[in-house]
Amino acid sequence: MKILFTKANWELSDLSVSEFVDRCAAAGYDGTEIYLPARPERTREIRALHEAANLKIVSHIATEGATPDEHLRSLEARYLRAVELQPLFVNSHTGKDFFSLADSLRIFEAGEKLVSEYGVPLLHETHRGRALFSAPATLEYLRQLPDLRLTADFSHWVCVHESDLSDQPAAMAAAMAAAGHIHGRVGFDEGPQISDPRNPAHAPWLERFTGWWNQILDLRRAESREWFTVTPEFGPAPYMPLLGKSPEPAGDAWEVNTWMLQYLRNQLI
């Protein structure tokens, strides 16, 4: 199974898509994961730039609105625009953590209907503030909708639960079984991002996450998957801690993600 490394434009969102694509190609990435709703460029232009650079596309969207119905309509509109990119799949920050089970299920079911109609997979990210904000909430949605597929970003869950998640084996097993994409950011029990994965003080958390990621890859290999995508996703300030009293971040997110890319190439087996 080939591992495709894609790059989010989080810390470089001020660049044009053209500039970002060139930078990702030069850094050795296989594709990008650009947050589409924030981009002024037309989808045709974005697609052409990726084709010229021989890069794959993961299209990143998020639902928005004050009500579940507004989030549902937002998902439909943004998924349809994302499909124009001909992406490998669409990754979505879906719903809100305070929506009812029934309302969130309606949103997820609408997403599954879109997939059946247009054929582009839709993955929902395990993310704070969203429907999949916690391990037990996600487990319940997967029980209700077994075909739901996830972007595994467990950095959120270790923070939400203030734990290494070893006390929630059923939820972790279900999430790994449903994972179709990995966000390679390391969190810890008091936050969604360690300061720097190169710091020896963070080694236990880096090891913990690497173990989870390899378990996911083993499951996908057992299914004879041809490829799987991983995005190194350490973010800029305020995810990146500030340096003492300075307004400057403690590190450079692009530099950290570049190190993470090489680490993942060596450690994901």
User: What are the domain boundaries of the chain?
Assistant: 2-267
Residue 171 DSSP symbol? H
Residue 46 DSSP symbol? H
Is the C-alpha dihedral spanning 110, 225, 135, 124 positive or negative?
negative
Strand partners, 191: 188
Fold type of domain 2-267: TIM Barrel (3.20.20)
- For the chain of 269 residues, list the mean pLDDT of each consecutive stretch of 10: 97 97 98 97 98 98 98 98 98 98 98 98 98 98 98 98 98 98 98 96 98 98 98 95 88 96 95
Closest CA to 231 of 6, 1, 3: 6
Q: Is the pTM of this model over 0.95?
A: yes
Strand partners, 243: none
CA dihedral 71, 61, 253, 213 (to 10 degrees): 100
Query: Would you state the structure tokens that stand for residue 183, as one six-digit string?
Result: 């966000």
Q: Which residues are within 8 A (CB) of 26 and not within 5 positions of it... i.e. 6 or more apart?
A: none
The gap from C-alpha 139 to its chain's centroid, in whole angstroms, comes to 18
CB-CB contact of 161 with 135 (8 Å): yes
| C-beta neighbour count of 209 within 10 angstroms | 23
Helix, strand, or coil here: 255?
A: helix
| pLDDT of res. 137 | 98
| pLDDT of res. 246 | 86
| pLDDT of res. 55 | 98
**Whole-angstrom Cα distance, residue 35 to residue 5?**
16
Q: Where are the alpha helices (DSSP H) in the chain?
A: 17-27, 43-53, 68-83, 101-118, 135-144, 155-161, 169-178, 203-222, 253-267
**Whole-angstrom Cα distance, residue 143 to residue 137?**
10
